[in-house]
Structure 1
Amino acid sequence: MYAAHVSAPESSGRASPPTDRVVRILDYLAGRPTERFGVSDLARRVGLSKPTCLGIVTSLADAGYLVRDAADKTYRLGPSLITLGHKAQESMRVSPAAREELRRLSARFGVTAALSGVIDDRITLLDLVAPAGTRPGVEVGQSYPFAPPVGLMFVLWDEEAERNWLAKEPTIPLRTHSDRLNRVIDRCRDDGYLVERLTPGGRRLYSLMAGMSSTLPDELRALLGELVSDIGERVYLRDENGSATRKRHDISVISAPVYDHYQRQVMVASMHIGKALTDNEIVERARALVKTADAVSSQLGGVKPQR
């Protein structure tokens, strides 16, 4: 499963006439999704001989891409195309429209905006838009091991994924405060976003782990253990700051979930801050990020779960 920009395909100059015939039939039926056609009628409409057309529609029906009505011997689009369409939709997650959403967010707040997802059990940066003249320090395609404490933002809004993630062997020794973590999970699910503080350890964590395998050397594990020792310790929760709304907090990143049509979290939209913000500034940016994530979800045909 890989998300990438989609552009118009270039012709290789090596067309396959048999494949072209299959495509011709599927394209014709796709343009008439409520209609059914017999072999003779379909063959005439797409310009094929009846034996050739019969062979193609028989194979497509056997694979579930077409459905044959036994009573009148007609064909229409089949259920396997639904699955195929959903897979194609998932493979094109990072579209030009999604990138435009990132660009607007980046321009509004002067920050780096990104989309990332879990691919082959690694967190992978799928797209990124940075302000002009800045160097974000990460690159599209860069990946990190998906195991505690890294990856909380990818499981916060999915209870089953959360349990599976917590069951993984941590990349570093952890001291998990379950009450604190449960409070973090509940609040982030209610708010719809996650805010992580900028700490000296956090500044170095991702650069140290970038490109690493899931099994880290003991020496590096010990070093990382000094940097991050609790899954939820870097999470900012507004209600822990009392009424001091003008107090500034060093913020690293704000994240919000992107959903697919099954209401599953499939990506994370993030805003990389890297400076101190007041409570009100944090909320303003977080709400704008949630709108961006919701827009990307809509582009995917995604549905946001109701809490």
Structure 2
Amino acid sequence: MRGSGSAPTERVLDIVELLSRPGRGEVRFSDVVRELSLSQGTAHAILKTLTDRGWITRNPATKAFTLGPALTLVASSLDIGRPLAHLARTSIRRLADTTDMAASVLERVGDDLVITAFENPADLSAVVQPNERIPYAPPFGIAFAAWDSADEQEAWMRRGAADDAGLHQRLRTVLTRTRERGYDVDWMTPALSQAAQAIGTLSGDAIPHTMRSVIDRLRVEFASADPLPDDSTRGAHPVATISAPILDADNRIALVLAIHPLRAMTFRQIQAAAKPLLREVDHVRNSSAAH
């Protein structure tokens, strides 16, 4: 839900997220001020409070800030309070080992999808990043939307097709086909994904109606592109992600498991790669039910 947040709270969370970025080097006071566009007074007050509460610590020699011990207690409680997410993280570790592909967990946070866990057997950090936010709108989130509630599916499709009935129907076909298959196949290369995200930022009443129509069509084209619908199509096509949903005890989508082949694959190779992914999905669901 956007538009009703607390700006002071957002500033605190921005600092915690800045410090938690994987691969991030040392973060000093000047970095916080510059990268988050905070005043020195605001940054100092937040950093002091977080330090006093043990959420962050400051190296007395380098003056750099890092996450503190109090966050360890918060993180450890996730295994108790969010058992499904804990099981999913264990599953992607197995997937990364058995498939030699990067694997991730995707969850919905408000109007975004967030990569909440990531296992990387190779140097693929430039392609996928933990904590990366993706707009929950076409062409993104097909694996989530295909199993979402009817109302949420309609909202997802409207964000990509507005009031165009033809585009709306194409997106519905995409969701139906994905659900029948049991998993989603993302054909977008990193370059196409970046282009799709850039297109996703072009929205709002400031855009002329004719231009909004073009943007909507581009979103749907990205979402509905499926060059390899069945094994009758020969040849290989680039595959970025294969993802499948994990449903909770009430049969509602809770999160998504994904592997990232990042290579050209035939239909049969995709089917073979999806098998260990679907086994892990079943394992998480069954293990969660057993508890």
* TM-score after normalising by structure 1: 0.56
Answer with 1 or 2: which has the greater Rg. 1
Structure 1 letter corresponding to 2:253: Q
- SS, match of residue 232 in structure 1: helix
Instruction: Report what 2:135 is aligned to.
Output: 145
Structure 1 position 204, deviation (Å): 1.7
Percent of pairs with identical residues: 24
CA distance in 2, matches of 1:133, 1:149: 26
Instruction: Report what 1:278 is aligned to.
Output: 266
- 8 Å CA contact 2:228, 2:267 repeated in 1: no
State the number of aligned residues: 213
* Deviation per residue, 1:99-118 (Å, 9 max, x gap): 23112211222211001111
Structure 1 position 300, deviation (Å): 3.2
Asked if 1:298 corresponds to 2:286, the answer is yes
Give the unaligned 5+ runs of structure 2: 1-52, 54-77
How has the CA–CA distance of structure 1 residues 176 and 299 changed in structure 2, closer, same or farther, with 3 Å as cutoff?
A: farther
Instruction: Report what 1:289 is aligned to.
Output: 277
Instruction: Report what 1:93 is aligned to.
Output: 84
Instruction: Report what 1:202 is aligned to.
Output: 192
How has the CA–CA distance of structure 1 residues 134 and 185 changed in structure 2, closer, same or farther, with 3 Å as cutoff?
A: closer
CA RMSD of aligned residues (A): 4.0
Greater CA deviation, 261-270 or 128-137?
A: 128-137
Give the unaligned 5+ runs of structure 1: 1-11, 13-86, 303-307
Instruction: Report what 1:37 is aligned to.
Output: none
Asked if 1:117 corresponds to 2:107, the answer is yes
**1:34-73 alignment to 2 at 5 Å?**
none
CA distance in 1, matches of 2:250, 2:169: 30
- 8 Å CA contact 1:205, 1:227 repeated in 2: no
User: Which residue, out of 151, 171, 178, partners 1:181?
Assistant: 171
CA distance in 2, matches of 1:300, 1:206: 35
How has the CA–CA distance of structure 1 residues 233 and 199 changed in structure 2, closer, same or farther, with 3 Å as cutoff?
A: farther
- 8 Å CA contact 1:115, 1:267 repeated in 2: yes
- 8 Å CA contact 1:145, 1:209 repeated in 2: no
- 8 Å CA contact 1:171, 1:216 repeated in 2: no
Instruction: Report what 1:60 is aligned to.
Output: none
**1:151-300 alignment to 2 at 5 Å?**
151-160=141-150, 161-167=152-158, 169-170=159-160, 177-178=167-168, 180-199=170-189, 202-205=192-195, 208=198, 228-230=219-221, 232-235=223-226, 237-239=228-230, 242=232, 244=234, 247-300=235-288
- 8 Å CA contact 1:177, 1:230 repeated in 2: no
- 8 Å CA contact 1:123, 1:144 repeated in 2: yes
